[in-house]
Structure 1
């Protein structure tokens, strides 16, 4: 059944399929507790909620006997770091340059789950998850053999590199498990050294409060002023620690066209993004994961990027936002104006 399941997973479009038990990650509870106790989760209160489930997947659904971990390749067709040198343009994380992966992955998971129910004996029960429940997908992915959690805490695969989403199916079916993956980072520090804001206190440790992905997506209100310059022109997420991983030499561009970047999101002009009102923002990012942060947080990020551009010609783009209805946008716009005018002094 496990072999047939993996063949079906490939047929529906998944790049990898591996299996573990819900209780195969006993170290997760302690690591999660330390992370939260240190306050490194920032404003992500949901990390602290239902920790007994996050730290013990076998407690989330006690009837589950197997966890099917799936990898979905979203490798880019272009160099995601090239845009960082274009200071009048915006850098958007590769995963957000087209369709929302939650929708795409969940459809595949449901197709595979239906197949399992119809094919396995005794019609097993299933639950599918894509970042939608208190499930620690990365430790489970390592336990199942999809990859290992690198020094940047993200999952790395010897075959897929860094560019893949994770989805999982909990099931009451008893399936043959795979061997866990081991660490292959060696002495490499590329992901740690490239971080513009110093978000890694030590290898295998992340302080989300300094992570650009967290600051541009999850963090509400003004970003701490000492971190704003480090954002550069990144307005939604950050790919730096993923992109520099040497294991990406084995990565391939995704075959799924829904993950291929929209041309208007590869390196959009900051000036054009700064003028978006709520309606225009919703229209432009319909079907995109960017839509969930809302216009105000998005434009706040654009203001920081403009302030970091070093281009005084962009002052008019943020000048009008100094009186925006949103307090964080006003603060970011005023900071950007002062920063750009300082370049003229």
Structure 2
């Protein structure tokens, strides 16, 4: 027997309570109509803003048609789960060019399995309580689905100008997940966009990847370059990458709404192996087995050892002048791959140039050093 409207209202309330008991921070319910997002998706793909992420276009408009992913579904139970770890070293690490900065979401264990299991438990709880075959299916980045659009419809938050979902009480430091279900549950109301005139995320982006409000060119994004990009990273972005060796949080770190973000209660999301404050040379000296062992169960592991070294080589090139760094880079030349060698060679060029600058500076008095710096910056016309 189908549930009455009143029973569906009560069930929706219970689902939110059960989701909270499972540890989810936010929960909302949306319908599956994402037709308004179809043309913007096509426009984004036409501009090639997805770069080498072929999976973004392989399924066409299926991403905006979640009902086709799980026939019979009429609702999405959308959840958010805080992932901000306890560590407070992030700003320090980003400012210290001798350390490697890793995006906050990947400092602990991979979130996919944990959230998927919780969503599965939620689906089973619904079936047990209703004694209905609800035909549910959980998603956590596991299928072509516009999860942020669903989360927005479910009232979990609004889409910020950096294209991430923002919550008034939690900022943007949370993962998303969806449970598609065939019950016509009452839906929640979207919340108001509260970014206003703020463009802090656009201004701070080191590579200017946020090309317009609510539009990101992934090909310029450091997260894309250090995680999704195959082959060499274009030279035009290497200096801007700085010491970011896996992902980038700049647009979130500067966002005013993240002042209200809560720390996660999940032990699995806490930083492991000192990844929130590791020296670049220490990470560079990991052998492949170290990489595989220490990053067991981590999202970082999926890029592989070769790309780990590629990213680290760029960061070492951007680090302060150091004879030790030069020696460490030289030791791995020819030891891994042509790809890594290319980035080592670039890093060595950067280091040698800095060493030359340091040597020149050492022979000049402070007044002359300042004059040289002014001339180099083009602030005066004549030397």
For normalisation by structure 1, the TM-score amounts to: 0.97
Report the 3-state secondary structure (helix = DSSP H, G, I; strand = E; otherwise coil) of the residue aligned with 2:329: helix
Question: Cα RMSD between the aligned structures?
Answer: 1.2
Runs (4 or more) in structure 1 with deviation over 4 Å come to: none
1:262-277 alignment to 2 at 5 Å?
262=272, 264-277=274-287
Report how many residues are paired: 344
Question: In 1, Cα distance between the equivalents of 2:329 and 2:204?
Answer: 29
The alpha carbon displacement at 1:121 in A equals: 4.7
Please name the residue that 1:34 is paired with: 43
Report the 3-state secondary structure (helix = DSSP H, G, I; strand = E; otherwise coil) of the residue aligned with 1:20: strand
The alpha carbon displacement at 1:263 in A equals: 5.1
Please name the residue that 2:344 is paired with: 333
Contact 1:74 1:259 in 2 (8 A): yes
Contact 1:81 1:239 in 2 (8 A): no
Q: Does 2:248 align with 1:254? A: no
Please name the residue that 1:229 is paired with: 239
Please name the residue that 2:176 is paired with: 166
Report the 3-state secondary structure (helix = DSSP H, G, I; strand = E; otherwise coil) of the residue aligned with 2:216: coil
Contact 2:89 2:276 in 1 (8 A): no
Contact 2:171 2:261 in 1 (8 A): yes
2:140 to 118, 130, 133: 130
Please name the residue that 2:100 is paired with: 90
1:22-61 alignment to 2 at 5 Å?
22-23=32-33, 25-61=34-70
Q: Does 2:294 align with 1:284? A: yes
Question: In 2, Cα distance between the equivalents of 1:173 and 1:206?
Answer: 35
1:114 to 113, 120, 124: 124
Contact 1:322 1:331 in 2 (8 A): no
Question: In 2, Cα distance between the equivalents of 1:205 and 1:135?
Answer: 18
Unaligned residue ranges in structure 1 (runs of 5+): none
1:177 to 171, 187, 207: 187
Contact 1:162 1:243 in 2 (8 A): no
Report the 3-state secondary structure (helix = DSSP H, G, I; strand = E; otherwise coil) of the residue aligned with 1:44: coil
Please name the residue that 2:18 is paired with: 8
Report the 3-state secondary structure (helix = DSSP H, G, I; strand = E; otherwise coil) of the residue aligned with 2:355: coil
The alpha carbon displacement at 1:22 in A equals: 0.9
Please name the residue that 2:334 is paired with: 323
Question: In 2, Cα distance between the equivalents of 1:61 and 1:258?
Answer: 30
1:64 to 61, 65, 73: 73
Please name the residue that 1:205 is paired with: 215
Please name the residue that 1:342 is paired with: 353
Question: In 2, Cα distance between the equivalents of 1:35 and 1:324?
Answer: 40
Q: Does 2:150 align with 1:140? A: yes
Question: In 1, Cα distance between the equivalents of 2:335 and 2:46?
Answer: 36
The alpha carbon displacement at 1:102 in A equals: 0.7
The alpha carbon displacement at 1:278 in A equals: 2.0
Question: In 2, Cα distance between the equivalents of 1:263 and 1:202?
Answer: 37
Q: Deviations along 1:156-201, whole A, 9 cap, x unmatched?
A: 0011111000010001112111001221100001111110011011
The alpha carbon displacement at 1:326 in A equals: 1.7
The alpha carbon displacement at 1:79 in A equals: 5.0
For normalisation by structure 2, the TM-score amounts to: 0.88
Report the 3-state secondary structure (helix = DSSP H, G, I; strand = E; otherwise coil) of the residue aligned with 1:264: coil
Contact 2:154 2:188 in 1 (8 A): yes
